[in-house]
Amino acid sequence: MGSADPVPFLSLHPRTPILTCLDPATGLPAEIRERVKAMFYHAYDSYLENAFPYDELRPLTCDGHDTWGSFSLTLIDALDTLLILGNVSEFQRVVEVLQDNVDFDIDVNASVFETNIRDPSFMEGSFIRLHTLVVGGLLSAHLLSKKAGVEVEAGWPCSGPLLRMAEEAARKLLPAFQTPTGMPYGTVNLLHGVNPGETPVTCTAGIGTFIVEFATLSSLTGDPVFEEVARVALMRLWESRSDIGLVGNHIDVLTGKWVAQDAGIGAGVDSYFEYLVKGAILLQDKKLMAMFLEYNKAIRNYTHFDDWYLWVQMYKGTVSMPVFQSLEAYWPGLQSLIGDIDNAMRTFLNYYTVWKQFGGLPEFYNIPQGYTVEKREGYPLRPELIESAMYLYRATGDPTLLELGRDAVESIEKISKVECGFATIKDLRDHKLDNRMESFFLAETVKYLYLLFDPTNFIHNNGSTFDAVITPYGECILGAGGYIFNTEAHPIDPAALHCCRRLKEEQWEVEDLMREFYSLKRNRSRFQKKTMSSGPWEPPAGPEPPSSPENHDQAREKSAKQKIPLLSCPSQPFTSKLALLGQVFLDSS
Min mean pLDDT across 26-35, 104-113, 467-476 is at 104-113
Contact call for residues 447 and 85 (beta carbons, < 8 A): no
Adjacent-strand bridge partners of 379: 425
Contact call for residues 197 and 265 (beta carbons, < 8 A): no
What CA–CA distance (Å, rounded) separates 499 from 495?
Answer: 7
Region at 562 (left for phi over 0; alpha for psi -120 to 50; beta for the rest): beta
Average pLDDT for 406-433: 97
Identify the residue with better confidence: 289 or 123: 289
> Would you say residue 7 has pLDDT above 60?
no
Instruction: Give the pLDDT confidence of 272-318 residue by residue, as tens digits.
Output: 999 999 999 999 999 999 999 999 999 999 999 999 999 999 999 99
Residues whose CB falls within 8 Å of the CB of residue 375, separated by 6 or more in sequence, listed in order = none
Instruction: Give the pLDDT confidence of 456-493 residue by residue, as tens digits.
Output: 999 999 999 999 999 888 899 999 999 999 999 999 99
Distances (CA, A) of 303 to 261, 263, 300, 341, 368: 14, 8, 6, 19, 15
**How wide is the angle at C-alpha 417 spanned by C-alphas 141 and 388, nearest 5°?**
55
Instruction: Give the pLDDT confidence of 73-91 residue by residue, as tens digits.
Output: 999 999 999 999 999 999 9
Do the strands 311-313 and 319-321 form a parallel or antiparallel pair, or are they unpaired? antiparallel
Adjacent-strand bridge partners of 130: 115
Average pLDDT for 363-367: 98
State the pLDDT confidence band at 523, using cuts at 50, 70 and 90. Answer: low
Supply the pLDDT for residue 517. Answer: 63
- Nearest Cα to Cα of residue 76 among 140, 145, 153: 140
Q: Please report the beta strands in 435-573, taking only residues with DSSP state E, as ranges in sequence order.
A: 467-471, 474-478, 484-485, 491-492
Mapping DSSP to helix (H, G, I), strand (E, B) and coil, where does residue 492 land?
strand
Average pLDDT for 390-406: 96
> Would you say residue 249 has pLDDT above 50?
yes
State the pLDDT confidence band at 16, using cuts at 50, 70 and 90. Answer: very low
Contact call for residues 346 and 12 (beta carbons, < 8 A): yes
Supply the pLDDT for residue 556. Answer: 40
Give the chain's radius of gyration (CA, Å).
25
Sign of CA pseudo-dihedral 20, 23, 25, 26: positive
Supply the pLDDT for residue 510. Answer: 55
Q: Which residues are catalytic?
A: 114, 270, 363, 384
Q: What is the mean pLDDT of the chain?
A: 83
Q: What is the largest CA-CA distance in the chain?
A: 85
> Would you say residue 527 has pLDDT above 80?
no
Can you say how many angstroms the Cα of residue 543 is from the centroid of all Cα atoms in its chain? 46
507-530 b/e (C-beta count within 10 Å ≥ 16 → b):
bbbbbbeeeebebeeeeeeebeee
